[in-house]
Amino acid sequence: MKNFQEFKMSEIVDTDFRAIGVFEKLGIDYTNCQEKTLKEVCKKKHISPEVILDYMAEAIVQDLS
């Protein structure tokens, strides 16, 4: 199984469209990094991949409420 950090940004969005909102909230320009891995983008933006996971979980919980 692939590590979450190794997924391409486009794969993450294909799995859950709410990721686009999370990326925007964190200042990540999704349109210019679709083929990069989450790990690459996080390293460039100095963001922990766990932060992305936390925001994704928060977006899911909000939708379920």
pLDDT digit string (tens) for 13-63?
999 999 999 999 999 999 999 999 999 999 999 999 999 999 999 998 988
Query: Is residue 1 predicted with pLDDT exceeding 90?
Result: no
| Residue 39 near residue 47 (C-beta atoms within 8 A) | no
pTM beyond 0.95: no
Tokens (6 digits) for 48: 């922990």
Helix, strand and coil percent figures for the chain, each rounded to 5: 70, 5, 30
Please count the residues of the chain.
65
| Confidence at residue 23, expressed as pLDDT on a 0 to 100 scale | 95
| Overall fold of domain 4-64 | SP0561-like (1.10.3910)
| Confidence at residue 25, expressed as pLDDT on a 0 to 100 scale | 93
Would you kindly state where each structural domain of the chain is located, as residue ranges?
Answer: 4-64
Q: Could you give the CA distance from residue 13 to residue 16 in angstroms, rounded to a whole number?
A: 5
